[in-house]
Amino acid sequence: MLSIVLVVGAVLQVAEFDAGRSLGLIAAGMLAFLGVLDLAYFVRTGLFARERGGPGNVAVVASVLALAVILAIRFV
Global pTM reads 0.86
Instruction: Tell me, letter by letter, the H, E, C secondary structure of 41-74.
Output: HHHHHCCCCHHHCHHHHHHHHHHHHHHHHHHHHH
Tell me whether residue 6 is in a domain: no
Tell me whether residue 56 is in a domain: yes
Tell me whether residue 16 is in a domain: no
Report the C-alpha gap between 62 and 41 in whole angstroms.
14
Tell me whether residue 18 is in a domain: no
Q: Return per-residue pLDDT of the chain as tens, 76 residues.
A: 999 999 999 999 999 998 999 999 999 999 999 999 999 999 999 999 999 899 999 999 999 999 999 999 998 8
Tell me whether residue 61 is in a domain: yes
Report the domain count for the chain: 1
Taking the alpha carbons of 72, 27, 33, 37 in that order, is the dihedral positive or negative?
negative
Per-residue pLDDT at 4: 96
Tell me whether residue 28 is in a domain: yes
Quote the domain boundaries for residue 72: 24-76
Tell me whether residue 5 is in a domain: no
Tell me whether residue 4 is in a domain: no
Per-residue pLDDT at 41: 95
How far from 60 is each of 7, 17, 52, 66, CA to CA, in Å? 20, 31, 14, 10
